[in-house]
Amino acid sequence: MAPLRSTIGIMSDSLKIIPLGGLGEIGLNMMVIEYRDAIMIIDAGVMFPEDYMLGIDMVIPETTYLKDKTHMIKGIVLTHGHEDHIGALPYVARDLKVPIYGTPFTLALVEYKFRDHNLPMTMPFIQVAPRENIAIGPFAVQFIRVSHSVVDGVGLAITTPVGLIVHSGDFKINQIPVHGELTDINMFAECGERGVLALMSDSTNVEREGYTLSEKEIGKKLHSIFVECPGRIIVAVFASNIRRIQQIVEAARSEGRKIVFCGRSMQTSVTIAKDLGYLDLPKEMEINVGQVRDIPDPGVVIVTTGSQGEPMSVLSRIAMGTHKQIKIKGGDTVILSSKFIPGNERAIAHIINRLYKNGAEVIYEKVSDIHVSGHAFQEELKLMINLTKPGYFVPIHGELRHLIRHARLAEEVGISRQHILLAENGQVMVFDNAGGRIEGRAPAGRVLVDGKGVGDVERSILKERRYLSEEGLVITVLVIDGKTGQVVSGPDMESHGFLLEDYESDIMENARHIVMKALDEQDLDEPNRIDSIRTRIKKALRQYFYLVIQRKPVIFPVIVEV
């Protein structure tokens, strides 16, 4: 491995690289590059909620670090159009007036997203192309074509006052692509010849040995499945995977089938791809969902969202029998042409079981090679390091186990351990004349989005939701005389998710006596009397319910003083 070049430069000012998301998790990708009074942001993605985040729609990065630095932000650069890289933009960028840079497909997706959020298009959207150079404050950014599971993906070569930083984006190195879009290894090699101060490289698939499978093999497999299917074919795929959708179109065309696209995000992506010339779809092939019933089953392909078992997706509603126009029947073949994202396995298995129960044949990654990852395997990751020959290596995009394994992989190809910066979200990576190091920490974390509420749900609320989901709710209502403290009405007891009605009578009757006893012990002259009564009732009922049934429902006393 080449030694660290003189690209650290003459200037004493330091360059800071601060990950606000994406290091230690899958998704939430957001990176800040800061020099003097200038900041450039790379990506702003979401993470989908984990199991314990009951009721949460999505998770976005915490941007407290940027609140007092908005005047320093010179631009936001997007590597590609996946939600884990652009999904947080409507929340992060809504108050910023800075340019957003991206390739045509990526920016078109962002524009639709802003419209969905009713956001004014106050910041300029600047289209860029691979190999193009642009200036963003003190940074010169060159875009490098990469192959990924979405079209128009790019990596970045960022010339800074202290040296050249390479950001791989999400990539794979596939020499047999579908419809072009090879990863531009020549450009990465040119960066290596110029001298790369630091490489930040995607770690998602570091556990996978060898090389990614060719997309063309997936096309062949899809075609062979289409030939053998006797009835309708339903394919669930990520809406952004335009190359896969093109393969589905070609397989359908070869078998003389019509094609229908279901799901809002699917229809949006297909419309954008057609407008930009990324999807070749003969007009006479496409039908709407209302026409499906008028065409014989062997002549139909339905392309839909829901490959991850999302509860409200089209595929989920089809499997549950709640979709208005499409019902599963014998002879149908359902293809899940995507990877099972960790955490979604149970939901996907439920969908598969329902599809089988309703008579469909189901083909998915565990039984057939109908998906190839968009992220580099080990040998491709090694090649990226060898092409760029970085002085410092920073593994990004992945859980801690991915980052650690990628760091070890970098050691195997010659990067010294002292030059591997294994950072966490919020840790500040500093580069200056003294070299590169982790020094200090910025605020970083997760902000929960629930409906229109952003950041108003915290762990205490999630804890209450978990208790409600696991133990149920008991409400007690009583009216008391404000002067005498005597009970005028009640206590009335009502439970939800706690006991079946047949088992409630004795337990709830005893609970009423517990409430009355708690009232008898109350001092009329005690300050904040109502709050004190609520506290006594909660404590007494918690103890009682745990004693008799070993459950801990949420206790909600409603006390009216007249």
Catalytic residue status for 13 = no
The pTM of this model reads 0.81
All residues at 6 or more sequence positions from 527 whose CB lies less than 8 Å from its CB, including other chains? none
Q: Do 106 and 152 touch, CB atoms closer than 8 A?
A: yes
The residue from 375, 397, 402, 406 that is catalytic is 375
* Residue 134 exposed, middle or buried by CB count within 10 Å (0-12, 13-18, 19+): middle
CA neighbor of 140 nearest in space, from 159, 122, 155: 159
Residue 4, pLDDT score: 39
- Report the pLDDT value the prediction gives residue 9, as an integer from 0 to 100: 40
Per DSSP, which regions of 443-517 are E strands?
446-450, 453-454, 473-480, 487-496
Which residues contact residue 299 at a Cβ distance below 8 angstroms, ignoring those fewer than 6 apart? 256, 257, 258
Residue 375 known to be catalytic: yes
Catalytic residue among 43, 202, 332, 450: 202
Specify whether the CB–CB gap between 45 and 83 falls below 8 A: yes
Strand partners, 165: 158, 198
* Amino acid at the residue 106: T
What is the sign of the dihedral through the CA atoms of 165, 171, 176 and 182? negative
What pLDDT does 451 receive? 57
Using an 8 Å Cβ cutoff, are 181 and 205 in contact?
Answer: no
Show the domains of the chain with their CATH numbers: 7-210+373-454 (3.60.15.10), 215-363 (3.40.50.10710), 472-561 (3.10.20.580)
Q: What's 124's DSSP letter?
A: P
> Which burial class, exposed, middle or buried, applies to 89 when counting CB atoms under 10 A from its CB (0-12, 13-18, 19+)?
buried
Question: Tens digits of per-residue pLDDT, 124-170?
Answer: 999 999 999 999 999 999 999 999 989 999 999 999 999 999 999 99
CB 193 within 8 A of CB 166: no
pLDDT below 50 — which residues of the chain? Answer: 1-12
